[in-house]
Amino acid sequence: MILQGTETGYPRHVHRMAAGALFFLQGVCFASWASRIPTIQQRLGLTEAALGLVLLALPAGSMAALPAAGWWVSRKGSALVALTALVVYAAGLVGLGFVDSLPVLLGVLFVFGFTGNVVNISVNTQAVGVEALYGRSVMASFHGLWSLAGFVAAGIGAGMIGAGVAPLPHFLGMGLFMLAVLAACSRFLLTDAPDEGAGQRVFVMPDRELLGLGLMAFCSMICEGAMFDWSGVYFARVVGAEPDWVGAGYAAFMAMMASGRFLADGLTRRFGLRRVFQTSGVLITVGLALAVGLPRLPTALLGFMLVGLGVSSVVPLVYGAAGRSRTMSPGAALAAVSSIGFLGFLVGPPLIGLVAGVATLRGSFTLIAMLGLGVAVLGSRRPA
């Protein structure tokens, strides 16, 4: 069990800042790699098709980590696992800077994805403990820091590319920054007591409540995956945006998703978890319907902004609710919900491509809108 309030010796806001630093470092590490994908593609001479296949190594590693991550957190505690995993995550980022062949890239990406999801489960478990200290929802603000870190790291990456800096010194600098922050905040993390009952089973079947939370995460993550991978294509082919505006939809989505995460905790305290889930699902559906029904630049931008606002709160609040499970430890519950939800990232992008091949890209986004409505329906079944 997570230590409470006065037992830790530090004010609760200190623990919140320390946990927030972990989320920020996680976002910085991932976005640093993502910002240099074109550079590494050019270095290895990969075609777009080859790069797409190579990048599957990362989610494959993430999926492989899900059962083990919850077990490790339950057995060793979220603080120890998060610190260890973030050190390895930083080392993996530096390792990506050394990559000089396709097989090496595949192997390092698999390890990078595996470690990244161990970080994900452990830092969210740490955040659940901070929520317990506050007695109210604060989870979404942590995920907002992850999104903010993505913007910061993407800007640094763009600057490095503009200055002609190779990936290795760029990644080495970010890795050293991560280690310095970890050293500064490590003693302020909450300490878990190991759950000895978790020692025998790596995977535990989620109960009905956790299954419902996992399905909400699944629907939301499919929508997120669609925005990440297909927003630029949609603006280019369907909206017919000029080249300078092709990335505007993705930027609008990301800006609203980050902003919404800093607002979600206050809205949850004011209106309740069920109403926030319902509103989130409606926003996703309306936003996608607007972009599909009126595929013009202003309306599509507004639609993507609504989608970003809609998905912003779903996964953080689902994780917070899962961490309060009465049938499983926080780490195991988060791993179970993440296992279901993360399938959305894997299924979403190829599903859109498949439907687009049979019908149209607008038809694909219509299907995704239906899944957004699923968030509202599943959220309506939660207690008020």
Please count the other Cβ atoms lying within 10 Å of the Cβ belonging to residue 56.
Answer: 15
Instruction: Judge if 183 and 218 occupy the same domain.
Output: no
Residues 104 and 63 in one domain: yes
pLDDT higher at 2 or 126: 126
Pair 255, 327 in one domain: yes
Q: Give the separation between CA 336 and CA 126, rounded to whole angstroms.
A: 16
Both tokens of residue 253?
Answer: 């989505």
Same domain, 354 and 280: yes
- Predicted confidence at residue 50, as pLDDT, reads 77
Tally the domains of the chain: 2
CATH code: domain of residue 79: 1.20.1250.20
Please say if the pLDDT value at position 293 is more than 80: yes
Q: Which residue has the tokens 């993507």?
A: 304
Sorted by sequence, the CB contacts under 8 Å of residue 121 that are 6+ apart come out as 65, 66, 69, 70, 73, 81, 331, 334, 335, 338
| Domain termination residue (choose one: 189, 219, 239) | 189
Per-residue pLDDT, 119: 95
Q: For residue 256, what is the enclosing H or E element?
A: helix 248-271
Give residue 48's pLDDT.
67
Residue 202 lies in a domain: no
* CA pseudo-torsion sign 192, 317, 324, 118: negative
The reply to whether 21 and 58 lie within a common domain is: yes
Q: Which residues constitute the domain of residue 292?
A: 208-380
* Radius of gyration of the chain from its Cα atoms, rounded to whole angstroms: 20
Supply the pLDDT for residue 193: 63
Tell me what pLDDT residue 145 has: 93
Q: Is the dihedral of CA 176, 70, 278, 59 positive or negative?
A: positive
Q: In whole angstroms, what is the distance from residue 94 CA to residue 172 CA?
A: 5
Q: Within the chain, how many helices (H) and strands (E) appear?
A: 15, 0
pLDDT digits (tens, 9 = 90+) for 235-266: 888 898 887 787 788 888 888 988 999 999 99
Q: How far apart are CA 23 and CA 30, in angstroms?
A: 11
Average pLDDT of the chain is 86
Is there a domain that residue 197 lies in? no
Task: Mark whether 290 and 349 lie in a shared domain.
Answer: yes
Candidate ranges 105-119, 137-151, 203-217, 345-359; pick with highest mean pLDDT = 105-119
Q: Name the least confident of 107-121, 288-302, 304-318, 351-365.
A: 351-365
pLDDT at res. 195: 58
Last residue of a domain, one of 189, 222, 237: 189
Ranked by mean pLDDT, the top range of 62-76, 96-110, 203-217, 361-375 is 96-110
Q: Average pLDDT of 267-296?
A: 93
What's the pLDDT at 3?
Answer: 47
Instruction: Give yes or no for residue 365 having a pLDDT over 60.
Output: yes
Which ranges of 294-329 does DSSP label H, i.e. alpha helix? 297-312, 314-323
203 inside domain? no
Output phi, psi for 183, to 5 deg: -65, -35
From first CA to last CA, the distance across the chain in angstroms is 27
As a whole number of angstroms, the distance between CA 205 and CA 269 comes to: 30
Helix (H, G, I), strand (E, B) or coil at 275: helix
Lowest model confidence (mean pLDDT) among 102-106, 113-117, 305-309, 322-326 = 322-326
User: Which residues 6+ apart lie within 8 Å of 24 measured at CB?
Assistant: 145, 146, 148, 149, 181
- Residue at 249: amino acid letter: G
| Non-local CB neighbours of 293 within 8 Å, separated by 6+ positions | none
